[in-house]
Amino acid sequence: MSTTTMNPPRRPYSPKQAIERARRGDLGAWPVVGGLVAIAIVFGSLNEHFLSPENLTNLALQMAATGTISLGIIMVLLLGEIDLSAGSVSGLCAVVMTILNVRQGWNPVLAIAVAVAAGAVVGLVQGLLFTRIGMPSFVVTLAGLIGWQGLLLYLLGERGTVNLPFDGFVAKLSDTWLPPWSAWTLALALTGVYGGSLLLSRRLRRAADLPVGPAYWAAVRAGGLALVLAAAVLVLQADRGVPLLLVIFGTLVVVLDLVLRHTAFGRWMYAVGGNAEAARRAGINVTRIRLLAFVLSAALAAFGGILAASRLAAVNQSSGGSDILLMAIAAAVIGGTSLFGGRGRTYAALLGILVIQSITNGMLLLNVDSSVRYMVTASVLALAVAIDSLARRGSAR
C-alpha cells in the first residue's frame, strides 16, 4: 500500500515543491483564490457597493450557516460518499430546537444541544443503513432528504412558522459583534495557532526523518495568514464589527482541520477515502470510520440549521430547503474537496462558500435574473470538478 493512501494530501513545504505539484496538475487552493480575486475585481468594478464594509459584513453573515453544513458534507466526501439529506436534517433540527425553546420553554442552550444530538442520531441511522445493510449512500440520504422533510412538516403542524424571540439567546447569535480588542486578540491567536501547527509539523517530520522545507517558508505562510486576518478585521470593523457567526464558523473550520491533520482519526479518514480495502487490511475499522463520518455530517448540518434559524429568527416549512443542500455540496467541491474521496481540507468549505456567496451577492446587487445566477453557479461547479479530474489524471501519470 502506498504511503499516500494513509496520509492526508501532502502540503507544499517549499516554493519548489509547490511548483512541482502544479506541474503535475495539483493546483491546491490557488484556482479558488484566483477566482475570488477575479470575482472581487469584476463585481467591484460593476457595483461600487460590492466591496463596501457593509456588504462584506453581510456576506460574512450569509456564509456561516451554509458553510457549516458544507463542513459536514466534506466529512462524507472524504470517503468518496455523499449526503443528500444534509439540507433536510438542518431544517428538521432547527425546528426541534425552536419547538423545545419556544413552545416547551426549554433553556436555549439545552435545546440547541438536544437538536444537535438529534442530528447525530439521524446520521447514525443513515450510517447504519449504509454500512450494515449495504445500501448506497446516495439512496440512503436521498430517502432521508424526503423523509426528514416530511417529519419537519409534521412537527410544524398547521401553523407552518415558529418565530424565535428577537431578544433571545438564539437570535442574538446572529446579532452579536466582537469589540475591536476581542477581534484583534482572536486574529493574533489564530496566527499563533497556525504558526504553532507549522512548527509542530516540522518537528514531527524531523523526528520521523522526513524532508522538511526551509524555515522561511513557514514564516511566509504564517505572515500571509496574519495579513489576511488583519485585512478582514479592518474591513469588518469599519461597519458593525466581526460577527459572532463568522467566529463560530471559523472555529469549526480550524478545529476540524487540526483533527483531520493531526489525529489518528483524521489519517484513517483519508486512508478509507483513498482505498477502503487497503485501509481494512492495514487494521483500520472501516465501518466505524464511515459511521462517524455520517454522524459528523448530520450533526454539523443540524448546527448549520440552528445558525440559519438564528439569522432569520424563525423556522418555517422551507427551512433547510431551497438550494441550501446544493450550495453546501458546491461549496465543498469548489473549495477543492475531491468527489472521488481521499483528498480535501476543511478550508474547502470556507473558500468554496465564499466563492458561492460572493457570486450570488454580486449578481443580486446587479439585479441579475435568478436563471442567470443558477447557470453561473453551475458553470463554476463544473469548472471545479473539471480541475479536480485533471488533477487526479496528472497525479496518476
Residue-level pLDDT at 159: 74
C-alpha distances (whole Å) from 140 to each of 118, 255, 322, 338 are 17, 28, 20, 21
> Look-up: residue for cell 470556507?
350
d(CA 352, CA 192): 25
Q: What does DSSP assign to residue 129?
A: I
The string of pLDDT tens digits covering residues 183-225 is 999 999 888 888 887 888 788 778 877 777 777 777 888 888 8
Residue-level pLDDT at 126: 96
- Those residues of the chain that have pLDDT short of 70 are 1-29, 387-397
Q: What are the residue boundaries of the structural domains of the chain, listed by start? A: 3-8+23-176+262-396
Residue-level pLDDT at 17: 58
Burial of residue 83, with CB atoms counted within 10 A of its CB: 0-12 exposed, 13-18 middle, 19 or more buried:
buried
- Residues near 366 by Cβ (< 8 Å), separated by ≥ 6? 43, 46, 47
**How many C-alpha atoms does 262 have within 13 Å on its Cβ side?**
17
What is the topology classification, in CATH, of domain 3-8+23-176+262-396?
Answer: ABC transporter involved in vitamin B12 uptake, BtuC (1.10.3470)
Cβ atoms of 58 and 235 within 8 Å: the answer is no
* Three-class SS state of 162: strand
Residue-level pLDDT at 330: 86
